[in-house]
Amino acid sequence: MVRQPANTAPLLEMRGIEKSFPGVRALDGVDLRLEPGEVLALLGENGAGKSTLIKMLGGALQPDRGDIVLAGEAARFETPAAAIGAGIGVIYQEFNLIPELTAWENIFLGREPSLGRDRRRDERRAAQALFERIGASVPLDVPCRRLSIAQQQLVEIAKALSHNVRLLVLDEPSATLAPREIEHLFAIIRELAARQIGVIYISHRLDEIFAIADRVSVLRDGRHVADAPIGATDRGQLIEWMVGRTLEREFPKHQHPLGEPRLVVEGLCRGAAVRNVSFHVRRGEVLGITGLIGSGRTEVARLIFGADRMESGTITLDGEQLTLRGPRDAIREGICLLTEDRKSQGLVLGLTVRENFGLPNLPQLSQWGFVRQSQERKWLAEFVDTLRIKIPHQEQLAKNLSGGNQQKVVLAKWLQQDADVVIFDEPTRGIDVGAKYEIYLLINELASQGKAVVMISSELPEIIGMSDRILVMHEGSVTGEIDDVATATQQQIMTLAVERQSA
Amino acid sequence: MTQPARYGKQLTRLASDYGMVLVLLFLATVCSALTYKEQHPRGADAGYQVARQIAKHLGADASVLIVTTKTDEDRAFAAAAEEELRERGLQVLANVGGAPSDARLAIEQALAAGAAIDAIAANNVTARWTVYDQFPTVGSDKCFVPASYYWPDFLKTSNLLNIANQSSIYAIIAIGMTMVIITSGIDLSVGSLIALASVVAALFVRDFGGGAEASVGIVVVGCLAGIVCGAGTGAFHGLMVTRYRVPAFIVTLSMMMMARGAALRISNGQSINALPDSFGWLGEKETLGIPNPVLLMALLYLVAHVVMSRTVFGRYVYAIGGNEEAARLSGVPVKRMLLAVYTLCGALAGLGGIVLSSRLKAGDPNFGYSYELEVISAVVVGGTSIMGGQGRMFGTLIGAFIIAVIKNGMNLTNVNPFNQMIVLGAVLLASVLIDTRKKRDQ
């Protein structure tokens, strides 16, 4: 990798950045430095201030105090357009693409074009060139809504490159990508770095950071706590910086005796998404289900929870066959599902924490149709303590919480149900290391109480580290079951996950 | 957070929660200022007052002539004055209620009978008649009128009750509309349901109860039939929205036409007037000095507020509007709730129709045109988000009052009706703008 000689000004220097929101000091004197051609990993737990920091680079927020110096010149971005104009491209987790427009139309959206007759042809050709430059093949004439997440991300990158960016910020770009797509993304990042573009890379996945970054900066509670070349540090050190304490093990799996099968699923079918899926989960067992995105993992969970209607198959809980007309029935039978997407499925963001907590528990919390609010407050207060949910008061709106705290509110509302079967769908996605650890402990706790736990995850280390048994799915079918988790390898799972079934 | 900052935040929250109340108070102040003028008391109290005034000035042996016009208020004035004067031992020569010629006649008769006219109890209109000066022994300087005072027309009890009464039907229907809009739906059919319920109730009373001779029982059953009709239509909306996934806008737009058509059809487009007096009890009569529709409205708002803030039903309604999928995955019986909400909205529209036809003592297929727009305006002005998930019952009540006060204020100050429509439209837009701004600042 080519490095700029050290005597020139750094590409980016942020000094003493401070930013407060009502009631929160998000950033408290943060310094950050980036050389041209350098890939800097920005690490930190949720709520550490990473997003706030990059929003300032993107012109979405302005610092209360502190300087941003870009290639030796003081800069202040009042609008996103100003940031782009200065050569900073920020790709947020939520893409800014118009779903109905094609890739090239999105790339050149909002720019004043020459009104010539050949404009469209020119733009399309320019987009083609951009994709070639990053070695990507993206269908040019298809509306963006029909592109995969990975392809949409490539469109975002191409859009940034079309503005001749000097600095590219990627906020958790790998969260929704398959392993192969991540490899491709890394190749692009290396290519950009070789062209002296500085890259700030945000991710919770430490493996990736060791694979791609030159240097790592860690934020904690709005402060800059560490900065080191990637070669001079290791996983344990990074985790310690982020969390502020050492975690004994990353996956605190603890073994306990398994009982008889509690949940038995047989011949579950729903169109092409779920094809003849059968499995069982024992009392006290953690069953890990993995597979690529679109392999039908989530769909299976939704069928068991009654969220979708199955075409055929049976679900048996403790020997009793269930008829589920909807999630309400499943909850009554003692099944709960912690969905993957908290914001769109887990919480009603406009309601308060207390109201969200009570939602599935109202049958237990009501008398004559009235909500027993004092009881509700009491129950929630216990979870606020045990789960260490950070909220100023119970009447805080759910949308004002950080991702980790939102996840804990979701946990609280389901734990109150004390269900027999608990299904976690990607329980640690987008969650920082410390909170992950707490969720692992919780999964152990539930299993030790004799519940049947299903954990769906794309993170293979997590699946291997936390499950008693692993189910691998591919295109709606179960392609493998691994009983001996202790000797399972990621390669073994990936082989099953990409397996083509003979008809 | 520092202490002042916390107070500041609380103040902001207070202002946003009760911002609509402040707007309402502001409007009331403006209307009061614009209608502040000299008031001439009428009615019984004024009669007692003027009698006491005369007794005080002239003593117990004076002879008094009472001159008023023929209005109800003036009759009450005259009767009260006469009663008070006699009680105090004064002699009432005559009690004239009519035109100046009647007054002349009475004066001539009194003088012919040899009586002396010491005083004339009059009001500000009759005191200005020139007839008294045609008699040398009388003269207009013998007129006593009740003392006038300055007070805004807007703030007169009768006017305020009138505002409450006028807005009661909109406000009652707006309860159901608020719930529907909180679930991020809409009900455009309420105006037509008013007509349908009104016609159904009136036809029932006419055809099964013998019209004007109908018993109270038949009237009650007829009114319930109208309400059930609204509820049934609402249930149909709910079914279409939940089971067949037709957008609420379309379902209720269709019903807006169908219900109006049905009302016109079953009534042959005619107003139904053959109704007993008991039919008018709900809409025309008062209890404890407050019009019945206003009492009904207050009662319903109390119940609705408790339901929305304290019950499982209310929690479910807000949850569905906030995020239907998350609500369903949390065990909320979404379809059942939507069915209930639309049914309730239809029933309340039916009730609104009953109140309106009771007030006008008629069933008419042309009642309730464009009521849906005013009801939706009240809900939106009251701070309920058209995107669903947010809104308060009392906000809607305030919203209905705000619209009623603006309309009343413009009527009192003689703003022409065309301009009134422009103003009301602008108010609706402004309230949504303020709401959007508030949300962005949060």
- Of B162, B153, B156, the C-alpha closest to B412 is B153
Domain assignment of residue B7, yes or no: no
Q: What is the largest CA-CA distance in chain B?
A: 95
- Chain A CB contacts of B9 below 8 Å: 22-23
Looking at this protein, which amino acid is placed at residue A331?
Answer: I
- Whether B360 and B244 share a structural domain: yes
pLDDT for res A503:
34
A79 SS3 class: coil
Domain assignment of residue B38, yes or no: no
In the sheet where A335-338 sits, what is the strand order? A335-338, A421-425, A452-456, A286-291, A469-474, A477-482
Number of alpha carbons in the 13 Å side-chain half-sphere of residue B106: 22
Domain assignment of residue A324, yes or no: yes
Q: Can you give chain B as a three-state secondary structure string?
A: CCHHHHHHHHHHHHHHHHHHHHHHHHHHHHHHHHCEEEECCCHHHHHHHHHHHHHHHHCCCCEEEEEECCCHHHHHHHHHHHHHHHHCCCEEEEEEECCHHHHHHHHHHHHHCCCCCCEEECCCCHHHCCHHHHCCCCCHHHEECCCCEEEECCCCHHHHHHHHHHHHHHHHHHHHHHHHHHCCCCCCCHHHHHHHHHHHHHHHHHHHHCHHHCCHHHHHHHHHHHHHHHHHHHHHHHHHHHCCCCCHHHHHHHHHHHHHHHHHHHCCCCCECCCCHHHHHHHHCEECCEEHHHHHHHHHHHHHHHHHHHEHHHHHHHHHHHCHHHHHHCCCCHHHHHHHHHHHHHHHHHHHHHHHHHHHCCECCCCCCCHHHHHHHHHHHCCCCCCCCCCCHHHHHHHHHHHHHHHHHHHHCCCCHHHHHHHHHHHHHHHHHHHHHHHHHC
Contact B327 A359 (CB under 8 A): yes
Give the residue, A117 or A298, on which the prediction is more confident. A298
Tell me the shortest Cα–Cα distance from A347 to chain B, in angstroms. 6
- Whether A222 and A296 share a structural domain: no
A25 SS3 class: strand
Nearest to A328 among B310, B319, B333 (CB): B333
In angstroms, rounded to a whole number, what is the distance separating the alpha carbons of residues B163 and B155?
10
Neighbours of B51 (CB within 10 A): 28
- Whether A40 and A186 share a structural domain: yes
- Whether A196 and A272 share a structural domain: no
Task: Assess whether pLDDT exceeds 90 at residue B419.
Answer: no
Tell me the shortest Cα–Cα distance from A52 to chain B, in angstroms. 17
Task: Assess whether pLDDT exceeds 60 at residue A247.
Answer: no
Give the range among A324-333, B110-119, B169-178, B236-245 with minimum mean pLDDT.
B110-119
- Chain B CB contacts of A395 below 8 Å: none
pLDDT for res B185:
92
pLDDT for res A502:
39
Average pLDDT, chain A: 84
Nearest to B331 among A328, A346, A370 (CB): A328
Nearest to A339 among B313, B329, B389 (CB): B329
- Whether B187 and B129 share a structural domain: no
Domain assignment of residue B31, yes or no: no
Domain assignment of residue B51, yes or no: yes
Domain assignment of residue B3, yes or no: no
pLDDT for res B140:
72
Task: Assess whether pLDDT exceeds 80 at residue B18.
Answer: no
- Whether B255 and B380 share a structural domain: yes
- Of A324, A280, A299, the C-alpha closest to A421 is A280
Neighbours of A415 (CB within 10 A): 20
Residue in the block written with tokens 């940031």: A83
Beta carbons of A424 and A410 less than 8 angstroms apart: no
Give the range among B162-166, B359-363, B384-388, B431-435 with minimum mean pLDDT.
B431-435
pLDDT for res B428:
83
pLDDT, mean of residues A212-237:
87
A230 DSSP 8-state letter: G
- Whether B169 and B209 share a structural domain: yes
pLDDT for res A265:
92
* Beta strands A65-70 and A73-75, pairing class: antiparallel
- Chain B CB contacts of A354 below 8 Å: none
Burial of B33 (0-12, 13-18, 19+ CB in 10 A): exposed
Structural domain boundaries, residue A78: 12-243
Number of alpha carbons in the 13 Å side-chain half-sphere of residue B189: 38
- Whether B125 and B88 share a structural domain: yes
In angstroms, rounded to a whole number, what is the distance separating the alpha carbons of residues A328 and B332?
7
Structure tokens given for B176: 């159901």
Nearest to B318 among A346, A351, A370 (CB): A351
Domain assignment of residue A437, yes or no: yes
Last residue of a domain, one of B121, B149, B177: B149
| φ, ψ for residue B127, nearest 5 deg | -70, -20
Domain assignment of residue B32, yes or no: no
Task: Assess whether pLDDT exceeds 90 at residue A287.
Answer: yes
pLDDT for res B416:
85
Domain assignment of residue A2, yes or no: no
Tell me the shortest Cα–Cα distance from A358 to chain B, in angstroms. 9
Task: Assess whether pLDDT exceeds 80 at residue B1.
Answer: no
Residue spans of alpha helices (H) in A116-270: 119-133, 149-162, 179-194, 206-212, 235-243
Beta carbons of A282 and A465 less than 8 angstroms apart: no
Structural domain boundaries, residue B349: 157-441
pLDDT for res B438:
67
Nearest to A359 among B9, B310, B330 (CB): B330
In angstroms, rounded to a whole number, what is the distance separating the alpha carbons of residues B154 and B36?
8
Domain assignment of residue A183, yes or no: yes
Nearest to B311 among A350, A351, A369 (CB): A369
Contact B323 A360 (CB under 8 A): no
Measured between CA atoms, the residue of chain A closest to residue B3 is A23
Task: Assess whether pLDDT exceeds 60 at residue B406.
Answer: yes
Contact A373 B310 (CB under 8 A): yes
Measured between CA atoms, the residue of chain A closest to residue B391 is A350
- Whether A126 and A28 share a structural domain: yes
pLDDT for res B182:
93
Contact B330 A413 (CB under 8 A): yes
- Chain B CB contacts of A307 below 8 Å: 328-329
pLDDT, mean of residues B379-396:
87
Domain assignment of residue A250, yes or no: no
Contact A345 B326 (CB under 8 A): yes
- Whether B231 and B270 share a structural domain: yes
Domain assignment of residue A320, yes or no: yes
Tell me the shortest Cα–Cα distance from B246 to chain A, in angstroms. 20
Domain assignment of residue A1, yes or no: no
- Whether B219 and B332 share a structural domain: yes
- Whether B73 and B166 share a structural domain: no
pLDDT, mean of residues A278-292:
89
End-to-end C-alpha distance for chain A, whole angstroms: 47
Residue in the block written with tokens 């022409």: B416
Burial of A163 (0-12, 13-18, 19+ CB in 10 A): middle
Beta carbons of B189 and B390 less than 8 angstroms apart: no
- Chain A CB contacts of B327 below 8 Å: 348, 359
- Whether B269 and B399 share a structural domain: yes
Last residue of a domain, one of B114, B149, B184: B149
Structure tokens given for A180: 């192969």
List C-alpha distances in Å: A143 to A100, A102, A178, A467, B222.
Answer: 5, 4, 22, 40, 58
Helical axes B3-34 vs B393-412, angle rounded to 10°: 30
A-to-B residue pairs, Cβ atoms closer than 8 angstroms = 83
Which band of pLDDT confidence, cut at 50, 70 and 90, is reported for residue B95?
Answer: confident
Burial of B187 (0-12, 13-18, 19+ CB in 10 A): buried
- Whether A171 and A211 share a structural domain: yes
Last residue of a domain, one of B123, B149, B175: B149
Nearest to B1 among A23, A305, A328 (CB): A23
A430 SS3 class: coil
Beta carbons of A396 and B353 less than 8 angstroms apart: no
Task: Assess whether pLDDT exceeds 60 at residue A115.
Answer: no
Beta carbons of A496 and A472 less than 8 angstroms apart: yes
Exposure string for B149-181, b = 16+ CB within 10 A, e = fewer: eeebbbeeeebeeebbbbbbbbbbbbbbbbbbb
Contact B329 A307 (CB under 8 A): yes
Contact A348 B319 (CB under 8 A): yes
Measured between CA atoms, the residue of chain B closest to residue A23 is B1
Task: Assess whether pLDDT exceeds 90 at residue B300.
Answer: yes
pLDDT for res A482:
87
- Whether A221 and A280 share a structural domain: no
B128-143 pLDDT, tens digit each = 888 777 777 777 777 7
Torsion sign over Cα A178, A183, A184, A188:
positive
A113 SS3 class: coil
pLDDT, mean of residues B42-47:
81
Contact A328 B326 (CB under 8 A): no
Tell me the shortest Cα–Cα distance from A287 to chain B, in angstroms. 22
- Whether B209 and B324 share a structural domain: yes
Highest mean pLDDT among A244-248, A251-255, B77-81, B363-367: B363-367
pLDDT, mean of residues A116-145:
79
Work out how many domains chain B is built from and give that number.
2
Last residue of a domain, one of A243, A267, A285: A243
Which band of pLDDT confidence, cut at 50, 70 and 90, is reported for residue A2?
Answer: very low
- Whether A218 and A322 share a structural domain: no
- Chain B CB contacts of A370 below 8 Å: 310-312
Percent of chain A with pLDDT over 70: 94
Beta strands in A274-311 (DSSP E): 274-282, 286-291
Contact B328 A326 (CB under 8 A): yes
- Whether A49 and A64 share a structural domain: yes
Contact B315 A371 (CB under 8 A): yes
Looking at this protein, which amino acid is placed at residue A409?
Answer: V
Give the range among A63-77, B82-96, B227-241 with minimum mean pLDDT.
B82-96
For residue B63, the domain's CATH number is 3.40.50.2300
- Whether B163 and B231 share a structural domain: yes
Contact A350 B389 (CB under 8 A): yes
- Of A421, A38, A373, the C-alpha closest to A227 is A38
Measured between CA atoms, the residue of chain A closest to residue B323 is A348
Tell me the shortest Cα–Cα distance from B14 to chain A, in angstroms. 15
Task: Name every residue whose Cβ is closer than 8 Å to that of residue A94 and which is 6 or more positions away in sequence.
Answer: none
Task: Assess whether pLDDT exceeds 70 at residue A22.
Answer: no
- Chain A CB contacts of B7 below 8 Å: none
- Whether A129 and A164 share a structural domain: yes
Interface test with chain A among B243, B329, B336, by most A beta carbons within 10 Å: B329
- Whether A141 and A128 share a structural domain: yes
Work out how many domains chain A is built from and give that number.
3
- Of A48, A56, A44, the C-alpha closest to A14 is A56
Domain assignment of residue A252, yes or no: no
A141 SS3 class: coil
Contact B312 A362 (CB under 8 A): yes
Task: Assess whether pLDDT exceeds 50 at residue B367.
Answer: yes
- Whether A371 and A407 share a structural domain: yes
Contact A346 B1 (CB under 8 A): no
In angstroms, rounded to a whole number, what is the distance separating the alpha carbons of residues B232 and A320?
39
- Whether B236 and B111 share a structural domain: no
* Beta strands A88-91 and A167-171, pairing class: parallel
Contact B329 A337 (CB under 8 A): yes
Which residues of A touch chain B, with CB atoms under 8 Å apart?
Answer: 22-23, 305, 307, 326-328, 331-332, 337, 339, 344-351, 355-356, 358-360, 362-363, 366, 369-371, 373, 413
Number of alpha carbons in the 13 Å side-chain half-sphere of residue A134: 29
Beta carbons of A338 and A346 less than 8 angstroms apart: yes
A372-401 pLDDT, tens digit each = 988 899 999 898 888 888 888 888 888 887
A401-447 pLDDT, tens digit each = 777 788 889 989 999 988 899 999 988 877 777 778 888 888 998 99
In angstroms, rounded to a whole number, what is the distance separating the alpha carbons of residues B68 and B98?
6
Task: Name every residue whose Cβ is closer than 8 Å to that of residue B72 and which is 6 or more positions away in sequence.
Answer: none
- Chain A CB contacts of B328 below 8 Å: 307, 326-327
Torsion sign over Cα A163, A166, A172, A174:
positive
Domain assignment of residue B28, yes or no: no
Tell me the shortest Cα–Cα distance from B387 to chain A, in angstroms. 11
Looking at this protein, which amino acid is placed at residue B352?
Answer: G
pLDDT for res B35:
82
List C-alpha distances in Å: A317 to A261, B82, B247, B387.
Answer: 9, 89, 38, 40
- Whether A172 and A270 share a structural domain: no
For residue A221, the domain's CATH number is 3.40.50.300
pLDDT for res A500:
52
Domain assignment of residue B402, yes or no: yes
Task: Assess whether pLDDT exceeds 70 at residue B5.
Answer: no
Structure tokens given for A499: 């397996």
Percent of chain B with pLDDT over 90: 34
pLDDT for res B433:
82
Tell me the shortest Cα–Cα distance from A425 to chain B, in angstroms. 13
Average pLDDT, chain B: 85
Neighbours of A395 (CB within 10 A): 11
- Of A210, A212, A181, A182, the C-alpha closest to A199 is A212
Tell me the shortest Cα–Cα distance from A316 to chain B, in angstroms. 20
Tell me the shortest Cα–Cα distance from A201 to chain B, in angstroms. 30
User: Cα dihedral angle (B261, B263, B264, B268), rounded to 10 degrees?
Assistant: 140
In angstroms, rounded to a whole number, what is the distance separating the alpha carbons of residues A178 and A293?
7
Task: Assess whether pLDDT exceeds 50 at residue A501.
Answer: no
- Chain A CB contacts of B311 below 8 Å: 366, 369-371
Contact A307 B326 (CB under 8 A): no
In angstroms, rounded to a whole number, what is the distance separating the alpha carbons of residues A101 and A93?
19
Nearest to B325 among A23, A345, A373 (CB): A345
- Chain B CB contacts of A362 below 8 Å: 312, 315-316
